[in-house]
Every structure is written in C-alpha cells, then in structure tokens.
C-alpha cells in the first residue's frame, strides 16, 4: 500500500512539474497574438476595452504564476477578437 501511495505521489509531482511549464510558455505567445490582432480587429470601443482588460488580467495572472487562469482569460480575449474578424 505504501508503495502505491508513493507511486501516486510521484505521478502527481511529475504532472505538476510538466504541465505548469506548458501553461507558462503558452501565455506570452497568447499575449503577443492578442497585441498583434487587436489593432486589426473590427471591434467596438467597448469590445476593445474588454479585450484589453482580459489581456492585461491574463498577463498579470501569468506573472503571478496562475498560468491556468491566465490561459483562460487570454482565450476569452482571443474569442472576442476571432468572433469579430
């Protein structure tokens, strides 16, 4: 039983160490994509403000280490842009 618990703990640690960096490297690419697309997108002033707010929140979350939350905010911003191109 102890061996199995150790195996589960090792697997969880492995996943935490490999998945978190994937999110971490994804965020800056998303921020850059939003920055490149925003000037060309056909958005209302309110939509542009919303995209900028989500982008800024996503970047702040990335910098604080909350990468999963960051990816979610940035994806929401990108959806607004893509739905209005």
Model's pTM, two decimal places?
0.71
pLDDT score of 55: 94
Q: Which residue has the tokens 């195996």?
A: 7
The domains located in the chain, with CATH, are 22-82 (1.20.1270)
> Which tens digit of pLDDT belongs to each residue from 33-85?
999 989 988 999 999 999 999 999 999 999 998 888 998 999 999 999 888 87
pLDDT given for residue 5 in this prediction: 44
Do the beta carbons of residue 75 and residue 27 sit within 8 Å?
no
12 alpha-carbon distance from chain centroid: 22
Band the pLDDT of 19: cuts 50, 70, 90. very low
For residue 68, what pLDDT is reported? 86
């Amino acid at each position: 039983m102890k061996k199995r618990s150790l195996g589960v703990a090792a697997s969880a640690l492995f996943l935490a160490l490999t998945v978190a960096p994937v999110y971490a490297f994804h965020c800056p690419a998303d921020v850059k994509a939003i920055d490149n697309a925003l000037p060309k997108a056909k958005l209302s002033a309110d939509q542009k403000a919303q995209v900028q707010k989500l982008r800024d929140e996503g970047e702040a979350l990335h910098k604080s280490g909350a990468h999963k939350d960051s990816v979610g905010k940035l994806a929401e911003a990108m959806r607004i842009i893509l739905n209005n191109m």
